[in-house]
Structure formats: C-alpha cells, structure tokens
Amino acid sequence: MNRVRVARERNSNNATANLADPVASVTHLHVAAGILRDKAGRVLISERLCDGPFHGLWEFPGGKIGPGETSTQALCRELIEEIGVDVTQSQPLMSLNHEYPDRTVDIEFFLINDWHHEPIGREGQRLRWVDIALLDAEKLLPADLPVVEAIKKL
C-alpha cells in the first residue's frame, strides 16, 4: 500500500498516477432529460438498455450533452435519436447532481410541452406512459427519483 502512495507522490504530474486513485477514475457526465406529459397527465418513461447495473431500469428519456451543445440542443437531438420525437416547446424544470459509485451525473430536466410525432423506442427500448401518481412504484434510475416529487407538484 505504501508503494502506491509513494508512486502517486512521485508521479503527481503524471496521468498514470491517477490510475491508483479511485476518485480520479470517476466519470463526470452532463445530461439533459425530458419529461413528456400527455393530455391525460401521464409521463413517458423509457427502459434502459445497457450493460451494467442499470439495465432494465426506467428513466426519463434524454442523454449526454455533447461538446459545444447547449442543454436544449442536446435534449432535442437525444429525443429525436431515442424516441423519434421532435420537440417544439420545452421549459426547464430542475437540475440536480447525482453521485453513483463510478460516475457523477449533472442532469438538467425539461418539461416537454409540445412535440411532433408519436414516441417510439428507436433503439429497441420499451416506452410506457405512466400516471404521475404511480411513478413511485416504477423502477426508475436513482438519479430520476427526486424529479418525481417535483412533477407531482405541477
């Protein structure tokens, strides 16, 4: 254990020094997510299809904000790519920071007030319209849980 500490101290300016430091390997992501509400007041959730611990959980659709993109641009791009929806009107709902063991995620959530096209799972994921009152019972990503209370207050 002392060898790791000494190597890190000696190589403090070297990128390989961070390999021994678990904090340095944490990924930081900036994400935009959309809350689509239908005329019945239900919200759209999307099944997560990925390798890893979050496979099969549900989330509000969206994705990573790319270099040079605003959060609104990323939201519109991601919703077209993921669910085939062309956003015509949105407004910020809330932002939050969530720390997972291997990553930190900053998420900007938007209410999607108007869009073109019916949502479909363009990446093979299932989509569900869920009554807001029943959202607690869904298996949502941990980062999405605080949003449920905010949506219920709308």
Whether residue 127 lies inside any domain: the answer is yes
d(CA 127, CA 124): 9
Whether residue 9 lies inside any domain: the answer is no
Q: For the segment 99-125, what is each residue's pLDDT rounded down to a tens digit?
A: 988 899 999 999 999 999 999 999 999
DSSP code at position 117? S
What pLDDT is stored for residue 26 in this prediction? 65
What is the pLDDT confidence band of residue 137, given thresholds at 50, 70 and 90?
A: confident
Two tokens, residue 113: 């007030």
Whether residue 113 lies inside any domain: the answer is yes
Enclosing domain of residue 75: 27-152
Per-residue exposure over 72-101, b if at least 16 CB sit within 10 Å of its own CB, e if not: bebbbbbbbebbebebeebeebeeeebeee
Q: What's the longest Cα–Cα distance across the chain?
A: 62
Q: What is the CATH number of the domain that holds 107?
A: 3.90.79.10
Q: For the segment 19-54, what is each residue's pLDDT rounded down to a tens digit?
A: 444 445 569 999 999 999 999 999 999 999 877 678
Whether residue 38 lies inside any domain: the answer is yes
Least confident range of 3-12, 89-98, 135-144: 3-12
Q: For the segment 56-85, what is each residue's pLDDT rounded down to a tens digit?
A: 899 999 999 999 999 999 999 999 999 999
What pLDDT is stored for residue 25 in this prediction? 57
Q: Reduce the DSSP state of residue 14 to 3 states and report it.
A: coil
d(CA 27, CA 140): 21
Whether residue 11 lies inside any domain: the answer is no
Whether residue 18 lies inside any domain: the answer is no
Whether residue 16 lies inside any domain: the answer is no
Whether residue 77 lies inside any domain: the answer is yes
pLDDT of residue 95 exceeding 80, the answer is yes
DSSP assignment string, 34-102: EEEB-TTS-EEEEE---SSTTTT-EE-SEEEPPTT--HHHHHHHHHHHHH--EEEEEEEEEEEEEE-SS
What is the pLDDT confidence band of residue 144, given thresholds at 50, 70 and 90?
A: very high
12 Rama class: left (phi>0) / alpha (psi -120 to 50) / beta: alpha
**Number of domains observed in the structure of the chain:** 1
Kindly list the strands in the beta sheet with 103-116, ordered across the sheet, starting from the edge strand earlier in the chain: 62-64, 27-36, 103-116, 86-99
What pLDDT is stored for residue 10 in this prediction? 31
